[in-house]
Structure 1
């Protein structure tokens, strides 16, 4: 399908579609529902003149978001923060826009090539798909249920998306048809990777000779002249920047009770409108295949917990005391989630409860016995007050920071000095060291977005306002501020002058001289055994080094202590078994190696890996072609709006229609 090109960028929805059928299905009746009115159907991008409409984007983006939200709730046991939710929405928008642009590019090519998919072929593919079968027969009700519960789609929408998917795949297959590698080539690679050797060696470390090296000025200059290419420096740039810190701005923000109440009233039904519920649980774990006595003991324990609840005990405290679920430390709180996450039996019982009620009988499923408490589907204001305050403070700070950054940008771009601008606003102006296109900036860390922008500009130009984010483990990146920068100087790629890299040249020259001394000692050892066989025992005795042993080394994995230089490894695997090698220059010394044994793979072992390796290598080649192809297509696209504009609030009418539609699909 489109797996190669969309790896790392494909929306979740496409993955699920492929998992269902791997092809598409034409049901016939047009049952699709339009989400937005024509007045909102503005063009957001043009691909070879073909428009991608705003309403199409929002339909796909909402499905993508719902799928990502469901996966996130599974991963985080139902607990999703506001920042994480915003991140999911932004990523969903970005991935959806990329998917629509790429898909339209391929559809345009397909139209010019006259590629069409016969309805009969499509119908046969899906009817035979196990995903939509019961008892070996296609089931229309199952088909509709899966579309609604897993993809939030109507049949007509699903069929249209899948038709496009198959057409696009056909185009990609044609483009990548030259990704050829023969089975014989792969067989040789497998043979090399599976061949192993047991070796013994003596290594004479170069470090022991460094103190004996006498390095003069002529030696340093001579080494530099002979190895100038090692000191090549890529194109570099230097900038001055002002950083507007969101956290600093937030310190001066006061959020009123009125603002928090207004926010709460506006958002209190968010979870309810999306069909989410809020529960707690106490799980008494017992395997589904437990013995009758084990099952009875677990159920009896669950009944005792219910008895304590009936006596007025606090559910949260009992969850901390008895529950075997990871949520026990949170008082059993599962947060807000879409029904379907915890299983049919769990959902059925939870949905039958009113707020504040708990199950009077334990609920059995494959995990064990659950006691479920239904919480309010609308979180109380007092519980949300601090969270709301943080959200509003953050939102106001972000808005002010962006506005201030934009003002600084306009001022400096208009001709004002960035130094004066910083001084006027009381903001620090930082001048960076020179940095290259890899984006590592000493003062900021890795900043590829700034580097990409800076290298496009001329000296004196002002770069666009850039957001700065901070990565947090197991959470979306957090916006921390904005940068406004000006390019101060540029340097072309060049070989560094010796005075600029002298310290490194001296280190390299010293190491080279040490290797020369090590090789001299090796030659002395060789001469001393000119009339006799050279053994590792003799070399060890003469050098004072130990004989080391390594088993099952391979060309692919390298050899600990020797290194993974393919030239050294080739030399080792070409040695005669039982004979000591010539001196080999390895990673940090000079080595003598003796191969004790070599084990080559059998034809059966090679055959076992051949199919999967051949497939993997061909896929890698295809992905390279895909990426080149995608980049060429993407450069022709005219994008009218950015993701931030696309995520701007819709009208109340549009929001209500969107929520109604999503609820209908989730029922």
Structure 2
């Protein structure tokens, strides 16, 4: 399809590309899953429907992404109901924006769409777009170009609107100054620390208290539900290792792929670069060209290229090596530079000045490695690996279908499928819903293992661990959650009670000392009298990692102290200790000391924030004036 679309170079909105390419595009078997059901809507935006099917696909994509990102902590950190609502809200936002962009006349031409797709690394081979690779990647995600391209065009359209608004963000000089004053602000402070360990050993804990605490906190002493699983593992890499290969097969493959085993011509050059800024005016460009031409004349008069490169080249990567760039093949460098290098006729020849985005280059050809065909022996190992992989992939897809059918037809055992497919039933150790090690660290496996269907004794559906690995599992052993006996957790209960007592006593002393400090008592004398740690710090910045994060947060959340006084506060640290903090001085950052280039970065960052706020406001306004109907009760439909 894309062959009919005209090429044109461009490149923006990379985040949209990442999102679209890095997560699964569709659920396997989605058509069968929804067959027999009337298509339902989960929302309407100005009459345009967001279907339940579209929502389910998008929700599964987001769920898969979070599972991959969070691992075993997914179930602990993600609220499924909130995730569903968030996904729906995002889809509504996108529809509102797409309608607005369309109404405003934004368009994505075929040439722009093609250029963006051609620029996606996942669709490239050796740095060039491949129609075959494009189709393969989409097919692996259950997609076709006919389905993907309209989706991607819509994402680009929304991105065009978003980018256009965000780029309007501005930051005034006063705002930049204020930002620098706050960001680079430092504070002087001291703190007293009260460790709970000084009280824990004094706590008197009775058996009655232990029993009472145990009875009141039984949920804390539960042994989690655990399972161990049996599984069949269908893996391309394991299949490949068992596939025999003969020299005859490899020689036939070598002959078939002969064009793939030609090393391209490589050239080694030296260059001298005279840089030209991107926004340079004509006078600056002319001056740079003049310098390059003067150096070229000296070279033609017999000067050493390496010496002049070391002295005058403004390429930090090669100047010290006399401008030597080493060997490289055609297509490696920028087009103008590349064209000049491979147009040189003989070794030692010097050409220039050549203009590129970096400036003006003078180039000398040092050496040439001609193109050559690699021998069979040189590529035999790679040929064998490729042969086995290709055969293994063919076998994998055939066996995957049979694995699905056999484990479905015989849901109470894996043995039949194992025998017919030549696989071995393997077993994991016990693991909880939080996951375990090895295969049990995969969130898809954990979710399947604790699903009601599998816990009830059935085989799981095939689980795609990766595009080249599929497993089917069943529960071998299931241990329900159970309360651990008091005898087993007796020491833990006692430690909890001592910790509780220590925290209470530390807090009590902290409140007492804080009152005394605010009454004017000397902090160092107080610390010495109570045998407490005392630390004084000066010129501490917001990002100082050497200071406890909670102390730092309290310090920079405090007000400015009056001269000769301190602004006090206290905070409980993660260790249970208490810190009493006194801020004695606040010193703002100095905007006048920031170099122009760094100030420009700050200005651009603030403008980006302002633009993002503008975009958020625009979205809110568009939604307010749109007719949005949401059917959230439909979100949990199967």
C-alpha contact (below 8 Å) 1:204/1:543 kept by paired residues: no
Secondary structure in 1 aligned to 2:339?
A: helix
1:581 maps onto 2:568 in alignment: yes
Instruction: Tell me the residue number matched to 2:295.
Output: 292
Query: Aligned partners of 2:156 and 2:514: how far apart in 1?
Result: 68
Pairwise CA distance, 1:595 = 0.5
C-alpha contact (below 8 Å) 1:280/1:373 kept by paired residues: yes
Instruction: Tell me the residue number matched to 1:514.
Output: 502
1:442 maps onto 2:442 in alignment: no
Query: Aligned partners of 1:563 and 1:362: how far apart in 2?
Result: 60
Pairwise CA distance, 1:391 = 1.1
C-alpha contact (below 8 Å) 2:188/2:539 kept by paired residues: yes
TM-score, length-scaled by structure 2: 0.54
CA 232–454 in structure 1, closer or farther in 2 if over 3 Å, else same? same
C-alpha contact (below 8 Å) 1:263/1:388 kept by paired residues: yes
Instruction: Tell me the residue number matched to 1:411.
Output: 406
C-alpha contact (below 8 Å) 2:231/2:474 kept by paired residues: yes
Structure 1 segments unaligned to the other structure (5+ residues): 13-45, 49-56, 107-160, 303-321, 470-478, 637-667
Pairwise CA distance, 1:429 = 1.8
Q: Alpha carbon RMSD of aligned pairs, Å?
A: 6.2
> Which of these residues, 460, 465, 468, is aligned with residue 463 of structure 1?
460
TM-score, length-scaled by structure 1: 0.52
Query: Aligned partners of 2:342 and 2:223: how far apart in 1?
Result: 64
CA 301–576 in structure 1, closer or farther in 2 if over 3 Å, else same? closer
Pairwise CA distance, 1:543 = 1.9
* Structure 1 residues 434-461: Cα deviation after superposition (integer angstroms, max 9, x where no partner): 444x7x4423264244346566662334
CA 530–92 in structure 1, closer or farther in 2 if over 3 Å, else same? closer
> Which of these residues, 320, 342, 356, is aligned with residue 350 of structure 1?
342
Q: List aligned pairs for 1:204-603, cutoff 5 A.
A: 204-207=194-197, 209-216=199-206, 218-219=208-209, 239-269=229-259, 278-288=264-274, 292=295, 298-299=304-305, 332=327, 334=328, 339=331, 341-350=333-342, 359=347, 361-362=349-350, 366=361, 368-371=363-366, 373=368, 375-376=370-371, 379-401=374-396, 403-404=398-399, 406-415=401-410, 417-418=412-413, 420-421=415-416, 424=419, 425=422, 427-431=424-428, 433-436=430-433, 440-444=435-439, 446-451=441-446, 458-459=453-454, 460-468=457-465, 481-486=469-474, 497=483, 502=489, 508-522=496-510, 533-540=521-528, 542-549=530-537, 551-554=539-542, 557=543, 560-564=546-550, 568=554, 572-573=558-559, 578-579=565-566, 581=568, 583-588=570-575, 589-599=577-587
Query: Aligned partners of 1:625 and 1:94: how far apart in 2?
Result: 39
Instruction: Tell me the residue number matched to 1:104.
Output: 150
Query: Aligned partners of 1:608 and 1:347: how far apart in 2?
Result: 36
Instruction: Tell me the residue number matched to 1:9.
Output: 19
1:614 maps onto 2:601 in alignment: no
C-alpha contact (below 8 Å) 1:286/1:369 kept by paired residues: no
The size of the alignment, in residue pairs, is 472
Secondary structure in 2 aligned to 1:533?
A: coil
Query: Aligned partners of 2:367 and 2:305: how far apart in 1?
Result: 14
Secondary structure in 2 aligned to 1:597?
A: strand
CA 393–103 in structure 1, closer or farther in 2 if over 3 Å, else same? closer
Pairwise CA distance, 1:172 = 7.9
CA 371–616 in structure 1, closer or farther in 2 if over 3 Å, else same? farther
Pairwise CA distance, 1:260 = 1.9
Instruction: Tell me the residue number matched to 1:22.
Output: none
C-alpha contact (below 8 Å) 2:186/2:586 kept by paired residues: yes
Pairwise CA distance, 1:549 = 1.1
CA 265–209 in structure 1, closer or farther in 2 if over 3 Å, else same? farther
Instruction: Tell me whether 392-401 or 446-455 shows the greater mean CA deviation.
Output: 446-455
C-alpha contact (below 8 Å) 1:576/1:595 kept by paired residues: no
CA 558–498 in structure 1, closer or farther in 2 if over 3 Å, else same? farther
Pairwise CA distance, 1:593 = 0.9
Q: List aligned pairs for 1:33-52, cutoff 5 A.
A: none
Query: Aligned partners of 1:623 and 1:372: how far apart in 2?
Result: 59
C-alpha contact (below 8 Å) 1:584/1:592 kept by paired residues: yes
Secondary structure in 2 aligned to 1:483?
A: strand
Query: Aligned partners of 2:515 and 2:470: how far apart in 1?
Result: 68
C-alpha contact (below 8 Å) 1:68/1:92 kept by paired residues: no
Instruction: Tell me the residue number matched to 1:645.
Output: none
Pairwise CA distance, 1:561 = 3.5
Secondary structure in 2 aligned to 1:371?
A: strand
CA 391–93 in structure 1, closer or farther in 2 if over 3 Å, else same? same
CA 617–292 in structure 1, closer or farther in 2 if over 3 Å, else same? same
Secondary structure in 2 aligned to 1:6?
A: helix
